[in-house]
Structure 1
Amino acid sequence: MHWNIVSPYQDTTSNNPEGEWLLPYLPKDKHNYSLLSRRSKNVNWHERSSPVTDYREWLNLWEQSRRAVTTCQGGMVTILPQLASVIGLQQRFFGPQFPLVAWWFNTNLYKGYKCWLASAALKDVNRFIVHNRLEREVYSQWLGVPINRFEFVPMPTRILPITEQEDTERPFILSVGSAFRDYPLLFEAVKKLGLRTIVASGPKTLEGLEIPSMVEVPLGIKNPEILSLTQRARLAVLPLRQEGLIAGTVAALEALSLGCPLIATDRPGPDDYIQHGKTGLLVRPNSLTALVEAIDHLWHDDTLRGQMRKQSRQYAEEQLTLKAAGAALGGILDQVANEWEHSPQRLKHCIR
């Protein structure tokens, strides 16, 4: 089957688009693919001033989706829920039918008319790909869609070469990120232990917090510097509050992929990726005692840290690569194509 891949990360205004997504790793024996680019500038979804998609972006998504629908000769794969929603609406209102797979389906649980609109737009999606297991059950109930249409696939991450070693002369704890972070708890823990700590976060997240003397907060550092710190840290801590459906997944994956010993709050997000005692340590939420004990133990146990560095890197190389994600998606596309072949809604002609 031919699949149109529709991504908000690809555009025609840049000389250096952000790679080819999973295309090099998708199986070619049963399927072929076309990547549909944007005609407007890429949107950095993590650096926008507002988490809400504004009307200009919705118009850009509508235009991109319309081109995808009118050129569809088989099925459609969308990246992020906005494109899946827009294409789902076009299916409902304009009539073309094709199998639709929504990759990286991660969204807020809206209420009222937004919930109704999401349910209407997404009711015919054949598969939703989520990167945390809890999302299967929650989104199934929220949208009123059978849970067997939701598939968990581990989120792929870049497996970069490890070029630096643990800083043994000036050892430090590293904590990275902003969303739902429990930095007050971390600050209390490192104050008790007196351990040097570097926190790479945004000013809004740290605003109003009392920063202990042993904590450094280098604001505005870029990703290459964070990757360097992750390799040189004695250990990383991912302190998380309980708000939000999922939190901390991306930060956890970066630490695992670079073999950095990791302590994280035991909550949806890290719990899908950290094997307690092997690739990291999971601690009770809101527990200063548990966090202090975990940091103190891992800080002083050289053998355990060495084992975690090896095991977390091995796990990432086996389970979190683009190749692994491409193989998983390929298997899902096989299932969807087979189901569609026997579906009464199957297209008999190319959509023009």
Structure 2
Amino acid sequence: MSQSQETPQDTSQDSGQEAAPAAKVRVLLVAWFLRPERRWLGEFLPPERFECSYVGLDERVDSTRMRTPGKKWWQLFRLALKARRHLARHPQDLLVTAFPQVGFTVGLVNLLSFARLPHVVWYFNCGHEYQGPRKWLSRVAYRSVHRFIVYTMHERSVYARVFALPESRFHFTHLTGPELKAGEFRGARERFGLAPRYIAALGSSGRDYDTLFRAVEGLPVQLVVVAHPSALPSGPVPPNIKVMTSIPQEDYLRVIAEAELVAIPVNNRETASGQMTLIQAMSLGVPVVATRCIGTEDYIRHGENGWFVQMGDVEHWRRTLRSLLDDPEARRRSATEALRFAQERLTDRAGAQVLADLAGELSPLTDRGPGRPG
């Protein structure tokens, strides 16, 4: 080689040029409850790695009913169309929707409009196995969903069979929600005229209030039930039971926070029920007694952060409730352990870490440079 010839060299370091920063993963979160003050998982995703945008609804969506009424379906299809318009204007790397109904409407709209991007459905709990046309339509709509976040190990195989999808698409993690502080939810007794000591039972999906009503009859404590009328047993209500059918979410949490115990009676052998009330009680440091079933087995360690009773066993419920009401030290220990468990595993901050890990798995664009298409 002659002296006039030069060997090619990498001069990027010599010239002082820095490597281009890694491109951020663009995440679109779609849920009816999103608000400027409620950014859900996006609030906890590291901003140096993720760029989040949001699509929600301005009007209130009724999420208390066991079945989805026509008005709500109309709202959810409008939400899905709103999300699709956003995607057309602002391409994304990952789509995250909340609850099966939103996953269904968004999945169907994206399928019909040939949208192609990784889609994760959060809060995927169907309450019961779908049948007939609804099952067939769901199989169509969910075909393009890449991951379903489920909250019990058992549901992975159930939903894989029901929706004819690989079990690997169903990812188990503990149910998460906003971090709650018990001191911020006070005044339920005065607001609703509740007894000084009461047991709270809340929620509608898959509940077994018939068993619980019979178990507390004659106990020297009030039972406060917050549920949709369709979830309640027919016939007269025992005198030590107070039923409320519709209260704001903040009051719902007040009722939990001031209870001696939270009871979660379940009669559902198909899918999971009761986890939302369970994590709210744990997060507020309230002891929990729950039916041993699909929806509670992955959360409660019997005698440590809660107690199990057998499904439909009136006497087992009665003995357990009476024993715990007479043992404040056992309630205190359980409440402390439940709160620790909730702070470690049941907050949206923990959920955001799960989403960050999934983004690395589902979006190969995480390592893509700044010259990405779209």
1:31/1:282 Cα in 2 relative to 1: closer, same or farther (>3 Å)?
Answer: same
Does structure 2 conserve the Cα–Cα contact (< 8 Å) formed by 1:298 and 1:305?
Answer: yes
Instruction: Structure 1 unaligned segments of length 5 or more: list them.
Output: 11-15, 343-347
2:55 is matched with 36
In 2, the alpha carbon distance for the partners of 1:238 and 1:232 equals 16
1:86: how far off?
Answer: 3.7
| Structure 2 Cα separation of the partners of residues 86 and 179 of structure 1 | 21
Q: Which residue identity does 1:138 align to in structure 2?
A: V
Tell me which residue corresponds to 2:121: 102
Shift of residue 264 of structure 1? 0.7
Greater C-alpha Rg:
2
- Tell me the equivalent position of 1:66: 84
Question: Could you list the per-position Cα deviations for residues 76-131 of structure 1 after superposition, in whole angstroms to 9, with x for gaps in the alignment?
Answer: 22222334334433444443422222222233533333323222222232211122
Match 1:159 to one of 174, 179, 189: 179
Q: Structure 1 counterpart of 2:289, which letter?
A: I
Match of 1:345 in 2: none
In the superposition, the TM-score normalised over structure 1's length comes to: 0.84
Paired with 1:58 and 1:161, the residues of 2 have a C-alpha distance of: 31
CA RMSD of aligned residues (A): 3.0
Of the three residues 90, 93, 97, the one matched with 1:78 is 97
The offset of 1:53, in angstroms, is: 4.6
**TM-score, normalising length from structure 2?**
0.79
Tell me, yes or no, if the aligned pair for 1:132 and 1:268 is still in contact at 8 Å. Answer: yes
Q: Secondary structure at the match of 1:272?
A: coil
Alpha carbons 1:257, 1:312 under 8 Å: kept:
yes
Q: Structure 1 residues 34 and 266 mapped into 2: Cα distance closer, same or farther (>3 Å)? A: same
Deviations 1:225-280 (A, max 9, x none): 44333233222211222366221111111211111111111112222222211111
Q: 1:129 aligns with which of 144, 149, 152?
A: 149
Structure 2 Cα separation of the partners of residues 226 and 82 of structure 1: 23
Match of 1:287 in 2: 313
Query: What is the Cα deviation at residue 142 of structure 1?
Result: 1.5
Q: Deviations over 1:25-78 (max 9, x none)?
A: 01334332222344xx43424146962455633541342132133132423222
Q: Establish whether residue 270 from structure 1 lines up as the match of residue 296 from structure 2.
A: yes
Unaligned runs of 5+ in 2: 1-24, 190-194
Identity of matched residues, %:
26
The Cα offsets for residues 180-229 of structure 1, whole Å up to 9 and x where unpaired, read as 32222222222254433222334444463322222233555444444333
Q: Which of 303, 324, 332 matches 1:306?
A: 332
Contact 2:324–2:331, Cα closer than 8 Å, also in 1? yes
The size of the alignment, in residue pairs, is: 337
Bigger drift between 102-111 and 256-265 goes to 102-111
**1:318 maps onto 2:336 in alignment:** no
Instruction: Give the Cα separation in 1 of the matches to 2:265 and 2:273.
Output: 10
